[in-house]
């Protein structure tokens, strides 16, 4: 089933799924935003970045730690990774249980914080990228690998707090009878501001319209040059000076009705394209394919995922079990399989707005290059 635009898809969702809501269009719009985040999350997982991933972390501006910004997804250097097996435990798998089992030899530090997060609830809701302990320098994250009647297999990762890449999702709906949403430009500016302030490699606009890059070295010297050249050199580098505070910024936008396209950019899209290192456009067809197969004309492979979605958006009180943070375990397993099995088709859901001549394969290669750095050496005092 295809739709002329995301707006038509949103109206269909409003009629068929959110018919109970007092503001059906608003409810369906929020759900569309969640589904864009879900697509981003499971794409990153299918690329192999689960163990580097953190969700909704506060990120300070470069050189200005008094101001921080929550980012939807961040990829962090792995300082240590352990595969562990838990036995004789019943749900919920709380943060306290996990710390006692997995971090019993970790010294108590004055600045450390224990997190009251459940990896797995009694009603089978999984917490993705479950943080159980953190301090000013690092965090410990647990992910569930599998389970039997008596055992749980988990992965414990010790992540450096400063990420090497971030992902932000932006989607704006259009009110009936209007040409564009009233908050479009504000959301674009918000995303652009974060993208331009968190990394040590900063952009400047030159008089002739080109984009230059500036890097302030610890000895006070200013390194500068064409931004794309400096970006390429930084990603390829093993220099601690260049990498410690560097962040690759990736934006993902959706809704052609509001953002237009790579060939026909409006003001908002131009603002984002000149701010992020990578800007990806989730196409109408891509979002339509996923929602049709998940909700409107469900495929057998996604039936339990549909059930989890509908249980979360029924208009009745209850715990949401279909978000980027908390996901029904059966739905999670199916979504992992779906994104792995349809990886090639899903890559076709995205258009690369910037950089010019970019591709998802190139982005993935850059992320793998950053992930494979010798971070223990780079981050050593």
DSSP one-letter code for 102 = H
Q: What CA–CA distance (Å, rounded) separates 189 from 187?
A: 5
**Max avg pLDDT among 18-32, 163-177, 331-345:** 331-345
- Average pLDDT of the chain, as a whole number: 89
What residues form DSSP beta bridges with 54? Answer: 74
Range with lowest mean pLDDT among 168-172, 209-213, 320-324:
168-172
HEC string of 153-218 equals EEEEEEEECCCCEEEEEEECCCCCCCCCCCCHHHHHHHHHHHHHHCCCEEEEECCCCCEEEEEECC
pLDDT tier at 173 (50, 70, 90 boundaries)? very low
Q: What is the pLDDT of residues 55-96, one digit of tens each?
A: 999 999 999 999 999 999 999 999 999 999 998 778 999 998
Position 180 scores a pLDDT of 52
Helices 24-46 and 284-291: crossing angle, nearest 10°?
A: 100
What pTM does this model have?
A: 0.93
Contact indicator for 304, 328 with CB cutoff of 8 Å: yes
């Amino acid at each position: 089933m295809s739709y002329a635009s995301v707006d038509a898809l949103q109206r269909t969702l409003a009629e068929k799924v959110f018919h109970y809501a007092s503001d059906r269009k608003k409810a369906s719009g929020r759900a569309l935003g969640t589904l864009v985040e879900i697509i981003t999350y499971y794409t990153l997982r299918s690329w192999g970045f689960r163990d580097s991933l953190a969700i909704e972390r506060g990120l300070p501006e470069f050189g200005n730690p008094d101001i921080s910004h929550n980012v939807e997804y961040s990829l962090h250097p792995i300082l240590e990774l352990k595969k562990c097996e838990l036995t004789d435990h019943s749900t919920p798998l709380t943060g306290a249980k996990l710390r006692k089992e997995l971090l019993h030899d970790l010294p108590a530090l004055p600045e450390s914080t224990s997190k009251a997060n459940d990896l797995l609830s009694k009603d089978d809701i999984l917490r993705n990228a479950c943080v159980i302990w953190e301090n000013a320098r690092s965090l410990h994250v647990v992910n569930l690998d599998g389970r039997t009647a008596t055992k749980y297999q988990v992965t414990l990762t010790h992540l450096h707090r400063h990420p090497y890449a971030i992902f932000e999702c932006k989607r704006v709906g259009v009110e009936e009878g209007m040409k564009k949403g009233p908050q479009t430009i504000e959301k674009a500016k918000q995303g652009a501001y974060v993208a331009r302030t968190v990394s040590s490699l900063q952009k400047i606009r030159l008089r002739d319209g080109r984009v230059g890059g500036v890097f302030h070295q610890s000895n006070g010297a200013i390194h500068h040059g064409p931004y794309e050249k400096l970006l390429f050199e930084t990603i390829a580098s093993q220099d601690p000076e260049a990498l410690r505070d560097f962040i690759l910024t990736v934006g993902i936008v959706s809704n052609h009705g509001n953002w237009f396209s790579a060939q026909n950019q409006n003001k908002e899209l131009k603002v984002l394209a000149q701010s992020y290192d990578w800007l990806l456009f989730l196409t109408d067809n891509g979002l339509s394919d996923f929602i049709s197969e998940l909700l409107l004309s469900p495929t057998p492979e996604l039936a339990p995922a549909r059930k989890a979605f509908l249980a979360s958006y029924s208009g009745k009180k209850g715990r949401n079990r279909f978000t980027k943070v908390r996901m029904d375990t059966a739905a999670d397993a199916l979504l992992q399989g779906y994104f792995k099995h349809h990886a090639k088709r899903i890559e076709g859901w995205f258009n690369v707005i910037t950089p010019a001549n970019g591709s998802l394969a190139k982005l993935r290669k850059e992320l793998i290059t950053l992930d494979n750095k010798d971070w223990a050496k780079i981050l050593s005092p």
